[in-house]
Amino acid sequence: MKALKSLLVAGIGVAALAVPLAASATVITFEGFPDLTVLTNQDFGNGVTFAGATVLSAGGSLNSGNFPPHSGINVVYNPSGPMQLNFTTASDFFSGYFTYNQQLTVTAYDSANQQVDQVISACAANYVGSGCGAANEFLEVTDPGNIAYVVITGGGGNNFTLDDASFTGSRDPGLPEPATLVMLLGGLGSLALSRRRKTVA
């Protein structure tokens, strides 16, 4: 019986480990960058690079009366054409808060350049005073473990701001995936049952 209790306690301990092993979400607020910083491969800590994104600051180049930040004072905008985010480790989702003067499309692609999800903004424009919706519309694309990059399009440039971008951060490669832990727990449970049967017999 002691062996059974020890195995069950071990199983509970392993189950508790499963919580931090799940991929963690990263939120980029764009704070701390000077006005008009061009984003490329700045270190955001979780393997994301930008193309077609420039920082705008309230009190600087940002027209915050019509395009207010979702938080803080900084946002990013697309000076010309689409904006793209590339992930070094495939992401489960990407989301952000968008204010725009032309309808937006957010499209997620896998590593084979196949579209895996897409969302279109609710309005043709949602900047303050546009008459449709509210500024900082939340948009999200999802496909667990498959999103290699995201492209945000709408207009020829200078037509949207993005704030509080969120995506799944990298998993620690030294730790097992949650599916592996489930198999481990199943094995421990089977072992505990077989030990219990031997003890009872």
Task: Tell me, yes or no, whether 128 and 88 share the same domain.
Answer: yes
55 & 121 share domain: yes
Q: Examine the pLDDT at 181 and tell me if it is beyond 70.
A: no
Phi, psi of 141 (to 5 degrees): -120, 145
Q: Which of 138, 136, 135 is nearest to 119 (CA)?
A: 138
Q: Which of 38-52, 73-87, 161-175 has the highest mean pLDDT?
A: 73-87
Assess whether 105 and 196 both reside in one domain.
no
> What pLDDT is stored for residue 195 in this prediction?
59
Are both 67 and 135 inside the same structural domain?
yes
Mean of pLDDT values over 68-74: 98
Find the mean pLDDT for residues 89-102.
Answer: 97
Same domain, 59 and 143: yes
- Give dist(CA 184, CA 157) in Å, integer: 51
Q: Given this model, what pLDDT does residue 119 score?
A: 98
Q: Which residue has the higher pLDDT, 194 or 156?
A: 156
Its domain, for residue 176, covers: 1-23+172-201
| Residues 183, 115 share a domain | no
pLDDT of residue 7: 40
Instruction: Say yes or no to pLDDT of 125 above 90.
Output: yes
Q: Are residues 197 and 154 in the same domain?
A: no
Over the stretch 126-145, which tens digit does the pLDDT of each residue have?
Answer: 999 999 999 999 999 999 99
Q: Does residue 93 surpass a pLDDT of 50?
A: yes
pLDDT digits (tens, 9 = 90+) for 32-59: 999 999 999 887 767 899 999 999 999 9
Among 43-52, 73-82, 172-181, name the one with the lowest average pLDDT: 172-181
Looking at the structure, tell me whether residues 62 and 105 fall in a common domain.
yes
Residue 13: per-residue pLDDT: 44
Indicate whether 154 and 77 sit together in one domain: yes
Residue type at position 12: I
CATH of the domain at 134: 2.60.120.1350
CA 58, 59, 63, 68 torsion: positive or negative? positive
- Shared domain for 31 and 93, answered yes or no, is yes
Residues 30 and 123 grouped into a single domain:
yes
Q: Is the pLDDT of residue 191 over 70?
A: no
Mean pLDDT (whole number) for 97-124: 98
Comparing 159 with 193, the larger pLDDT belongs to: 159
Distance separating alpha carbons of residues 21 and 172, to the nearest angstrom: 8
Confidence grade of residue 163 (pLDDT, cut at 50, 70, 90):
very high
198: left (phi over 0), alpha (psi -120 to 50) or beta: alpha
Domain count of the fold of the chain: 2
Average pLDDT, the chain: 82
Based on the fold, state whether residues 55 and 80 are members of the same structural domain: yes
